[in-house]
Amino acid sequence: MIVATAPAAAKADTATSEGNRNIVERVHASLQSGDVSVLNEIFDRDRWDEAVTACPPGWRLPSDLDWKTLEIAIGMDAYDAHLERGRGAGLGDRLKPGGDTGFDALFSGYSDPHENDAFVRLGDRAVFWAATTAGRDDVSALARHRDVSADRSTIWRSKVNQTYRLSVRCVANPTP
């Protein structure tokens, strides 16, 4: 599985390393200052229905199975990969900035529709959609997601309302 190095919904040109460096520098500066206007400009977080079509041609939103494959590849027990909540002690650290996988999850938080789409957990959480639906609750349809936290060493797996706005990380389609 190949993982994109920048969020699919980045508005700036990310085709070059210079474009990637510019986005990373601006995001880090925004996280340091707490000025979310920069994040609003760079990231157009997606509701689930938008996320499933956000990736460029040849790429797609990873499924829950894709995420499990990544988690197992970096050392998670196959049984644990199917569990809910925090799993894989120490493995979340491998997906954080500076980790040894190159994933370098940016702690850009998420937008909560129940809080006027305000940024939540900015600088603390990296929250990504999975393409897998997960039933309904009393508010909306649900989908799987992954969450890497600055203060937790595990990788969080659970269901979330599809009306939230989370980050998108794309995977390459398999070659025939």
- As a whole number of angstroms, the distance between CA 65 and CA 81 comes to 9
pLDDT digits (tens, 9 = 90+) for 50-90: 889 888 899 999 999 999 999 999 999 999 999 999 999 99
pTM comes to 0.77
Confidence check: pLDDT of 24 > 60: no
Contact, 168 vs 55, CB < 8 A?
Answer: yes
pLDDT digits (tens, 9 = 90+) for 127-169: 999 999 999 988 889 999 999 999 999 999 999 999 898 989 9
Query: How high is the pLDDT of residue 122?
Result: 81
Residue 144: CA count within 13 A, CB half-sphere? 21
Amino acid at 56: P
- Confidence label for 9 from pLDDT (cuts 50, 70 and 90): very low
- Confidence label for 15 from pLDDT (cuts 50, 70 and 90): very low
Section 1-15 average pLDDT: 36
In the predicted model, what is the mean pLDDT of the chain?
81
Exposure string over 36-68, b if 16+ CB within 10 A, otherwise e = beebeebbebbbbeebbebbeeebbbbebebbb
